[in-house]
Structure 1
Amino acid sequence: MNTPPHKPTKSTSATSSNPESPNSYIAPSENPASVTIDVTAVEVPELTSEEQSDRLHLERRVERAFFEAGKALMELRDRRLYRSTHRTFEEYCRDRFGYTHRRVNYLIAGSVVFDNIAMGTICSQNREADETGTNCSQNEKVDTTRPNRSRILPTNEGQVRPLAQLEPQQQVEVWQRAVQVAKGKVPSARIVTDVVKRIMERTRIPNTYQIGEVCQILVKDNPDLRGKGGCWGLVTHVGEFSCTVKTWDGELTVGVQHLKSYDYLPQECQQMQQICDRLARIYSDSLEETVKNLLQSLGKVNRPYLTDMEDKLLRVLESEYEKR
């Protein structure tokens, strides 16, 4: 499908994705509610003929096995090869392949897990063949197009989805254990999930987080947390192995292995609660991208306060958007 390209336009908005940008200067004597901030538009470069060829090749790969699809989608995203026809990667995947944002994240994460398992299996075989322990280079090329009877590898994304939350070495160990449970055959997604649950239950530590505590979100290849890496959130509910945290754009449930406490003092946690409430009152899905970018940057500050400029910009947004 050829969709007319989205041409960037120069707009005037009370926002800036970089609070320290020289274009976002505000005179101290001015009323923040009346300030206008000029945002300079960035011209999106057209695709070269080589990039257009690469895009077509990668799009064909998306329609193949799940690990090929994930790798192709990752390259399309990282190189922004969708930019000639679509404004965002999410819109491109929805229009071109009919994939939801979550489906794309699952495929990309699944391809990473697949590579970890394939490489780990080769390393295990090398070590078994060499009593001295052959080193396995992480840069070694894994040919996933040729079946190997001595290796049992995943055949669909659902089989590796439960492994995304684990470290690479754990992914290999869990997969090999699942193959054993399946008696040497490709294990189903249910078998893999059961093995993961048993291992997680043995290794998890008690949840020691408290309501009101400020934590940083760690993605660790979890597709459900994509875009949340580095964001801070306030704990609003404490479960057995997870917490519900409130961030700049809503609440979500996060496993304790994906949280890191900032160890703020009680007064600092209260300050962050106030900042979070201010951001939440402004946020909505219909906001302009520049406004969302600014809110997101404030939702990633790694200190328990806003600078004078950040606070001033936030007050400008509050005067503009809280009326709507």
Structure 2
Amino acid sequence: MDHILPTSERQVRPMTKLEPQEQQEVWLTAVELAGGKVPTGRIVKDVVQKIMERTEVPNTYQLGEVCQILAKDNPELRDKGGCWAIVSAVNDFSCSVRMWDGEYAVGLQHLKSYEYLPAECEQMQVICDRINRVYSSGLEESVQKFLESLGKLRRSYLTDLEDKVLSLLELETDG
């Protein structure tokens, strides 16, 4: 069983992020799961995932922290990549985040902190609430696209013009 070697890159690639001794452990476990034969890339990937979760760094995100969404290989986040989000709950391997269009559960590997100061995080919270209220009122698609673009800002404030337009939209939805 210990003489079975990988036959394709797909079996080896998931292991590249691990330490050599972990790579060995993964391979032996994968071979075992494959019934003593050469395991598929999928089996190897599953074993790697289990080991990474076991050695995962603790979740250091804070409530109210502003993060960027990294879509990476998660199809559910594809249209959210690069957007900012505010941490609303901290779990072991994921966070719940609020975005301009609602709440999402996001794995830690899909978040990157903007390292904003507490005051900037509070500012973003207010902006998020404002955008969210207008967005959920279901205005025209063009207006929703504008709100979506605010959801991709790489700064912790709105320009005067963005603020005026958002205020105008708020008046429209309160009416």
Length-normalised TM-score, structure 1: 0.44
Q: Counterpart amino acid of 2:124?
A: M
2:133 is the counterpart of 1:289? no
Give the 3-state SS of the residue equivalent to 2:79 in structure 1. coil
**Cα separation, partners in 2 of 1:119 and 1:271, compared to 1, 3 Å:** farther
Which of 257, 269, 279 is equivalent to 2:121?
Answer: 269
Gap regions ≥5 residues in structure 1: 1-117, 125-168
**Cα separation, partners in 2 of 1:238 and 1:223, compared to 1, 3 Å:** same
> Is the Cα–Cα contact under 8 Å of residues 121 and 172 in structure 1 kept in the other structure?
no
Which of 201, 210, 215 is equivalent to 2:53?
Answer: 201
Distance in 2 (CA, whole Å) between partners of 1:193 and 1:247 is 30
Which of 310, 319, 323 is equivalent to 2:162?
Answer: 310
Length-normalised TM-score, structure 2: 0.78
**Cα separation, partners in 2 of 1:172 and 1:272, compared to 1, 3 Å:** same
Q: Counterpart amino acid of 1:170?
A: P
Distance in 2 (CA, whole Å) between partners of 1:301 and 1:221 is 22
Distance in 1 (CA, whole Å) between partners of 2:16 and 2:57 is 22
Q: What residue number does 1:120 align with?
A: 9
> Is the Cα–Cα contact under 8 Å of residues 134 and 173 in structure 2 kept in the other structure?
yes
Cα deviation 1:221-273 (Å, max 9, x = unaligned): 11121211011111110111111110000000111111111111111111111
Deviation at 1:201, TM superposition (A): 2.0
Q: Counterpart amino acid of 2:14?
A: Q
Give the 3-state SS of the residue equivalent to 1:227 in structure 2. helix
Cα deviation 1:121-151 (Å, max 9, x = unaligned): 49x7xxxxxxxxxxxxxxxxxxxxxxxxxxx
Distance in 1 (CA, whole Å) between partners of 2:52 and 2:40 is 18
2:70 is the counterpart of 1:218? yes
> How large is the Cα RMSD of the aligned pairs?
2.9
Provide the aligned length of Structure 1 versus Structure 2: 159
Cα deviation 1:46-80 (Å, max 9, x = unaligned): xxxxxxxxxxxxxxxxxxxxxxxxxxxxxxxxxxx
Give the 3-state SS of the residue equivalent to 1:170 in structure 2. helix
What pairs up with 1:211-250 in 2 under 5 angstroms?
211-250=63-102
Deviation at 1:119, TM superposition (A): 7.1
